[in-house]
Amino acid sequence: MLDAYVCDGTALRRLPVPVPPDALHQAVWIDLVAPTDQERQAVAGAIGRAVPTEAELSEIETSSRLNFVDDVFVLSMPLIARDTDRIRGVPGGFVLSQDRLVTVRFAPHLIFDRYADRETTNAVHGRSSVYLFAGLMEALIDRAADGLEQVRSEMEAVSGRIFRKDATWANKHEDAILRDTLATLGRIGETISLIRESQVAADRIIPYVERSSVAWVPPEVRERLRIMHMDVHSLTDFDTHLNDKLQFLLDATLGFINIAQNNVMKVMTIASVVGVPPVLVAGIYGMNFKNMPELDWVWGYPYGLALIVITAFIPLAWFKWRNWI
């Protein structure tokens, strides 16, 4: 998918879709989402250079993610895409020149769409490609901060569930809670890892543009980038704190799982005692004593069977009442 925007004075205007190839030369922002070969070729013709491929944007070396050639920045960073039931990392990139900004991503991203909607409704003086780049990076950093705050709330809920006072971790219902908690912590860990990976890339990109010597990056944008760099550092510290807390909760959950497993072994040990009383009764009444009072009793045999069953069920009823089984 290809979207393009032109700047009419202070207002950003979206070009009609499909975008006419000739109109791409006037676009200040070109947004590519999982582009086709035809779209890549059209954009390449408009900007005078090849559009980075998914493989190129997936490179992890700093030299591959940060490039400045012929007065054009080619930058890449992993983005976070949300599917129906999970989040995942997808490569993303920026081709930033004095005339235009080209964004390349390989999955839909709500932040890009919201930023485009906001910029097309607000009139801003001095809007340029580098201005759009700075605003988009701010939006991505703000979303990362919101994601970390949401993770913190989820971890607080997990902490309250694990360390509640009435928990005994000695029944099957609480075992299910522990399994669900472990899955939740795994999902939280994946989210923190993806956010950290994205912020590490932003921590490289922002100062790279800010400290560049290009004349078309105005001082006010450099100041915005400097502040963003500070924000990324604070998010990194907060991310480290959340990661430490996640490890603590994971260790606690695994500890409680061990306690629950020990409880299971205890139940199994106790359950082995269930067979002792019936065996004892059967042993007594299986011996043919001459003076056995029940020997001539008509109901002696049914009485013995009933006593065996009752002595077996009494321990089982006790375990069930304690919610051990």
In 3-state terms, what secondary structure has residue 8?
strand
* pLDDT of 76 higher than 70: yes
Q: Which of 38-42, 128-132, 203-207, 304-308 has the lowest mean pLDDT?
A: 304-308
% of the chain surpassing 70 pLDDT: 89
For residue 325, the model assigns a pLDDT of 65
Note the pLDDT tens digit of each residue in 253-303: 888 878 777 777 776 776 677 667 777 777 766 666 666 676 677 787 788
The mean of the pLDDT values for the chain is 83
What span, in angstroms and rounded, lies between the C-alpha atoms of 184 and 161? 12
* pLDDT of 225 higher than 70: yes
CA distances from 205 to 56, 70, 111, 208, 308 (A): 16, 18, 18, 5, 77
* pLDDT of 193 higher than 60: yes
What span, in angstroms and rounded, lies between the C-alpha atoms of 136 and 142? 10
For residue 287, the model assigns a pLDDT of 63
pLDDT confidence tier of residue 122, bands split at 50, 70 and 90: confident
* Locus of tokens 């930033």: 96
Q: Where are the domains of the chain?
A: 1-127, 128-263, 275-321
Looking at the domain covering 128-263, what would its CATH class be?
mainly alpha
Specify the CATH number for 275-321; select among 1.20.58, 2.30.29, 2.60.120, 1.10.3470.
1.20.58
pTM listed for this prediction: 0.76
Same fold: 128-263 with 275-321: yes
CATH architecture of 1-127: 2-Layer Sandwich (3.30)
